[in-house]
Structure 1
Amino acid sequence: MNRSERRGRPTEDTRRAIAARRASYQEDLARGVSRFFEPRRESCPWCGSGRLRQRLRTTDLLQHKPGDFVLDECRDCRHVFQNPRLNGEGLEFYYRDFYDGLGEQHLGSLFAGRDRTYRGRAEALLPFTRHPKRWLDVGTGHGHFCEAAARLLPGTSFDGLDSSAGVELARQAGRVEHGFRGGFVEFAREPAEPYDVVSMFHYLEHSTDPRAELASAHRLIRPGGHLVIEVPDPGSRCARLLGRWWLPWLQPQHLHLIRVENLRDHLTALGFTVLAEQHCEPHEPLDLLAAVWLFLDGLAPREDAPWLPARPTVVRRALRTAVLLAGVPALLLATLLDHLAKPLAPHLRLTNAYRLVARRT
């Protein structure tokens, strides 16, 4: 890593990559972003009820690509979903350069440093089976979970599936035995040897049809095998207290945010037995820190990105640095409060994620 990377400044390679992409992004944006959306739904995609209300309106708070996004909530089952939803062209546009391309190195480094989290996810299964032979991690990204879990379960073979190029890097790095690129529903239609375990860690909220994904998991897991799911919890009180600054809303990527009771009931209807429900273990104590960062990042002038018409001037870059430096005390205070609140989070319903372990009966 060179000196510019250590200081968080774009390297010369990054500047060239941004410049090379700018014309393509500007051509996309010149045609407008309204074409990236499907027609608005008038009914809940989970239960079919027509009793909807707007839960949230926001923008892209991470990449700051243009566009406005709405999350609706069903008044009957309380399912939260993006409405209108991005279409295929829109998903490609807003995912572009997030997990791969320009964002590949940053996201890869971020995911690589979470061994404790990955180990906890694998340990959630140990009370129910200690020697799974074949494990498929859906939405594996760069495969860092598989690498960490393999150290805990040395006799288990880990495969990974993802729609991004990260899964190919995971296979090349030896983090997964087999890396499959594409959609899970399509993958599960092909004849294959059943898996002992299928995991979906912060994957289901990205899918256009969670019910189809769960049915595919049931098809791919052997009888007696296990499904492990971890998703953001839209029932968290932090979701209401922090509003659009609650990181797990993650617009425009998160299309469905499923209540735990809805997911539990649907798994039972599919033919699973839910063995464990965890809220404390998957909770990440960063809600306040992330909210403060998103606010400061939105307040400061933008970093250079190819969806901007031109590279920011020296003055604007200096102003951005000044705003972020001024916010350091708030970031430190938010970090402290997050960690002080962690022991109380389950009791106050402040946990930001939940995890279910289910057995195919």
Structure 2
Amino acid sequence: MSSASRKARMLQVASLRAAYEKELADGTAAFFAPRADLCPWCGSTRLSERLRTTDLLQHKPGVFVLDRCHDCGHVFQNPRLNERGLAFYYRDFYDGLGEERLGGLFGGRTATYHSRAKSVRPHLARAAEWLDVGTGHGHFCATAQAMLPAVTFDGLDHSEGAELAERAGRIRRGHRGAFPELAARMAGSYDVVSMFHYLEHSTDPRRELEAAHTVLRPGGLLVIDVPDPESRFARLLGRWWLPWLQPQHLHLAPAANLRRRLTETGFTVLAEEHTEAHDAVDLVAATWVALDALAPREDLPWLPTPPKAWRRAARTAVLLAGIPLLLAATTLDRTTARPLAGRLRLTNAYRLIATRGDDSLR
């Protein structure tokens, strides 16, 4: 980062600090809904704590708990963030302060985007209109367009990312808002709907699937990538497993659960993929998150004061010392974990491809 960029970031952080201080004056309790006694997926009362952690990416204050249902295996945040909490913890992550950093990260995931488009391509026999839900800045759509030239891509996102993607020419049209609330006005408009690492962020996955059913034409495709809570890496790495992504991930459904829910919603599952959906970053991400947690904090607006010079120096020293560990973890991810991921059930995500049935035949 250049000196000019560092100065601009310092000014941006300073301008945000007073608003964050005011919002945090009464603590974080106001950000949570009441604790649930029933599994939101199957209604069971047989719940137990699966994970207790903090915000390991933004380092905003708060403690977050994931419970697991002993009857269906569903993992969910409990107590769940309410609307105020969601707004607080999403702020400055995908846009605002975090926009440049996340934009660069998503822009560099070309291989992942190729894998997604490759999985769908055999199921597309003609020109199609595709809605990418949770599109972010539209980088997947721009990459997939080259592989699927007969497809027209639109995007939808809660944040201003969809509008940014439209202005950048990565998508034809960007829709901003909640998918279930916008679905009625787009009924029957699309041949493909994708939800790549989106459904786990939803407060109500059932409504999201119903919205997809609404906007798809009969025979249209729904493509979903979500973290796999049954991954062995989830157990081996504990709170350092990146796909837990607290406090953003509210629901993590085992593949069998999501397959059944898709069938109930009027879809037929055509394919279930684990190795193809795997992103071989578990070890390097866990190493980075642990180093970042160990190092003193960088200047963040939700901290009461900027870090002193010695703390900035200490942070730099810790991260530099961790470079050999990061390199080793990257090598293991690519040379060992990736080829063995499917066989050893280390895959960190799964992909379901389903087709919407014809309502007139139901």
1:360 to 2:356 alignment = yes
1:7-36 Cα distance to aligned partner (Å, 9 max, x none): xxx621111110000000011111211000
Q: Percent identity?
A: 64
Per the TM alignment, residue 265 of structure 1 is displaced from its structure 2 partner at its CA by 1.1
Map of 1:3 onto structure 2? 2
Residue identity opposite 1:3 in structure 2:
S
1:268-296 Cα distance to aligned partner (Å, 9 max, x none): 12121111111001111111111111111
SS of match in other structure, 1:252: coil
Give RMSD over aligned pairs: 1.1
Map of 1:348 onto structure 2? 344
Residue identity opposite 1:245 in structure 2:
W
SS of match in other structure, 2:122: coil
1:171-320 aligned at under 5 Å gives the runs 171-190=166-185, 192-320=187-315
- Of the structure 1 ranges 38-47 and 116-125, higher mean CA displacement relative to structure 2 is found in 116-125
Residue identity opposite 2:124 in structure 1:
T
Map of 2:161 onto structure 1? 166
Map of 1:49 onto structure 2? 44
Residue identity opposite 2:347 in structure 1:
T
SS of match in other structure, 2:192: strand
Q: Equivalents in 1 of 2:316, 2:186: separation in Å?
A: 54
SS of match in other structure, 1:347: coil
- Give the conservation status (yes or no) of the 8 Å contact 2:228–2:255: yes
Q: Equivalents in 2 of 1:117, 1:284: separation in Å?
A: 7
- Give the conservation status (yes or no) of the 8 Å contact 1:221–1:360: yes
- Of the structure 1 ranges 265-274 and 126-135, higher mean CA displacement relative to structure 2 is found in 126-135
Q: Equivalents in 1 of 2:347, 2:3: separation in Å?
A: 36
Per the TM alignment, residue 4 of structure 1 is displaced from its structure 2 partner at its CA by 3.9
1:122-177 Cα distance to aligned partner (Å, 9 max, x none): 11112222324210000000001111111111121111000011111100011111
Residue identity opposite 1:345 in structure 2:
A
Q: Equivalents in 2 of 1:132, 1:93: separation in Å?
A: 40
SS of match in other structure, 1:70: strand
TM-score normalized by the length of structure 2: 0.96
Q: Equivalents in 2 of 1:288, 1:246: separation in Å?
A: 8
Residue identity opposite 1:204 in structure 2:
L
Q: Equivalents in 1 of 2:195, 2:139: separation in Å?
A: 14
SS of match in other structure, 1:254: coil
Match of 1:102 among 97, 101, 104: 97
Q: Equivalents in 2 of 1:130, 1:306: separation in Å?
A: 50
- Give the conservation status (yes or no) of the 8 Å contact 1:201–1:230: yes
- Give the conservation status (yes or no) of the 8 Å contact 1:131–1:153: no
SS of match in other structure, 1:224: strand
Match of 1:15 among 10, 13, 25: 10
- Give the conservation status (yes or no) of the 8 Å contact 1:195–1:225: yes
Map of 2:360 onto structure 1? none
Q: Equivalents in 1 of 2:333, 2:108: separation in Å?
A: 19
1:225-258 Cα distance to aligned partner (Å, 9 max, x none): 1000001100000000111000000000000001
Q: Equivalents in 2 of 1:193, 1:275: separation in Å?
A: 20
Moved over 2 A (4+): 2-5, 189-194
Aligned length: 356
1:322 to 2:317 alignment = yes
SS of match in other structure, 1:205: helix
- Give the conservation status (yes or no) of the 8 Å contact 1:132–1:197: no
1:92 to 2:87 alignment = yes
- Which runs of 5 or more structure 2 residues have no equivalent in the other structure? 358-362
